[in-house]
Amino acid sequence: MATTEPTESRTAQTPPTRDFPFYAGDPVLLRGPAWAIVLAAVAVAFLLLVLLPVPGSPLVGEWVRALLFMVVPLAALAVVAGRSWTALFHRVGWKDVGIMVGFAALNVVVTLIVGGIVRATTGTATNAAGAEILEMSAGERVLRFASMVPQLVGEELLTILPFLALLYLGVTRLGWSRRATIVTAWIGTALLFGAVHLPTYDWNVVQCFVVIGTARLVLTVPYLLTKNLWVCAGAHVLNDWTLFGVGIVGAGASLVAL
């Protein structure tokens, strides 16, 4: 299902010239059936995250579901792409760290502004996870914040893998321009991201598609710039740690974490 194409070695490329993987033969070309398997795995992983009952303490359940959310899509990608599944990830340099921090900070500001406007006009729902964290001990909070890392990597996979599938569909199959396809996939996956948050925010459509969707647009940009999932995941982790952390100290109980 993965087809090797003659292409310049990815290891020889520098980050500014690195292309998105899998849609055009770098490092392998994934075709329709392969993408169907990967996207099905993404859907299964999300269902496991929200529905899987796990015996034991709530924190154990959080960790199990978060790890499955991350591992299931990567396992499916490894099945169809072989060792090339690692093309999603690259070495992180100091410039990448700066992008993580910068876009996390930008997204906090964007979330506050857009969330404030929506709250003042149509109203917003709160994230129940924030209230749960407030009731935890210090040790439980540390474990909960740590469990956010695999969960948020999973959320990036839920966004970036469909993005790459749409890139394959638009550029390779339909013949669209690369730029138009990137914009379409960027917006389309932001809407998808907003949609999967509907149960979290009491089915508040405006909040999920406007606030969460806008924040997703911001958080995807680090991947567009670097083609490195570690970078957008790092920005996402820093964003959520900041928003939940502010809620803990009592300065923003109604802040939205993604």
Asked whether the whole model's pTM tops 0.75, one would answer yes
- What is the per-residue pLDDT for 90? 97
Buried b (16+ CB within 10 A) or exposed e, 2-36: beeeeeeebeeeeeeebbbbbbebbbbbbbeebbe
116, two tokens: 């404030």
158, two tokens: 């839920």
226, two tokens: 């670097």
CA 87/CA 100 separation, integer angstroms: 19
- What is the per-residue pLDDT for 2? 65
CA 257/CA 197 separation, integer angstroms: 11
Bridge partners for 4 per DSSP: 28
- What is the per-residue pLDDT for 245? 87
CA 11/CA 203 separation, integer angstroms: 44
Contacts of residue 255, defined as CB under 8 A and 6 or more positions apart, other chains included, come to 111, 112, 115, 130, 243, 244, 246, 247
CA 3/CA 24 separation, integer angstroms: 10
- Total Cβ atoms within 10 A of residue 233: 26
- What is the per-residue pLDDT for 195? 98
- What is the per-residue pLDDT for 12? 40
- What is the per-residue pLDDT for 230? 98
10-residue mean pLDDT series, the chain (258 residues):
50 63 96 98 97 93 97 98 98 98 97 95 88 86 95 98 98 96 98 96 96 98 98 98 83 48
- What is the per-residue pLDDT for 7? 44
Using left for φ > 0, alpha for ψ between -120 and 50, and beta otherwise, residue 123 falls in left
- What is the per-residue pLDDT for 250? 66
Return the CA Rg of the chain: 18
